[in-house]
Amino acid sequence: MLKKIQQFFKDNLELSNNDSSTQQHKVDLAAAALLIELSRADFDISSIEQQAIEQALVKTLGLAQTELNELIALAEAENQQATSLYEFTRHINEAYTPEQKFELLKALWQVAVADGEISKYEDHLIRKIADLIYAPHSDFIKSKLAVINN
């Protein structure tokens, strides 16, 4: 199982000298993995959060249903083995603009509030991701307020 997970992330998340659309697709998959990781932060995986993730991935990343299903299944298995967010956040740092990072933070908050409450674990994980992608603290706060006030 671990080899299958590693191969998926190697095939889909490693940046190489491929064309820019392929690189962007790999970065978007890293962002999707962060959304999936967030849904597990409060140890209560609700169907509402799963729907919020799926909507965000389809809307913002344009993933096909087969890619979406594969990513979710592998991310669930990878969650058991993960020791760091770095493998995902480094791709975000290499390719995302500050505006894209802000939109990622908003998507994370949308998943966090989907079940009606933001747990301390979700808040902590989003803060950690914001730090790892070098988003200013003001963007962390603005993105939270933008989602809560909608």
| Ranges of each domain in the chain | 21-148
Best mean pLDDT range from 12-16, 35-39, 98-102: 98-102
Query: Would you say residue 49 has pLDDT above 90?
Result: no
Residue 131 confidence (pLDDT): 96
Residue 55 confidence (pLDDT): 80
Report residue 78 as tokens.
């990878």
Residue 128 confidence (pLDDT): 95
Instruction: Say which residue the tokens 């959304």 belong to.
Output: 35
Report residue 19 as tokens.
């064309």
Of the candidates 141, 123, 105, the one whose C-alpha atom is nearest the C-alpha of residue 42 is 123
* CATH T-level topology, domain 21-148: TerB-like (1.10.3680)
Query: Would you say residue 16 has pLDDT above 50?
Result: no
Residue 91 burial by Cβ neighbours in a 10 Å radius (0-12, 13-18, 19+): buried
Of the candidates 134, 108, 107, 135, the one whose C-alpha atom is nearest the C-alpha of residue 122 is 108
Best mean pLDDT range from 14-23, 74-83, 104-113: 104-113
- pLDDT bucket at 45, cuts 50 / 70 / 90: confident
Q: How far is CA 83 from CA 7, 66, 100, in A?
A: 17, 27, 25
83-103 pLDDT tens trace: 788 878 888 899 889 999 999
Are 42 and 119 in contact by the 8 Å Cβ rule? The answer is yes
Of the candidates 121, 115, 112, 119, the one whose C-alpha atom is nearest the C-alpha of residue 146 is 112
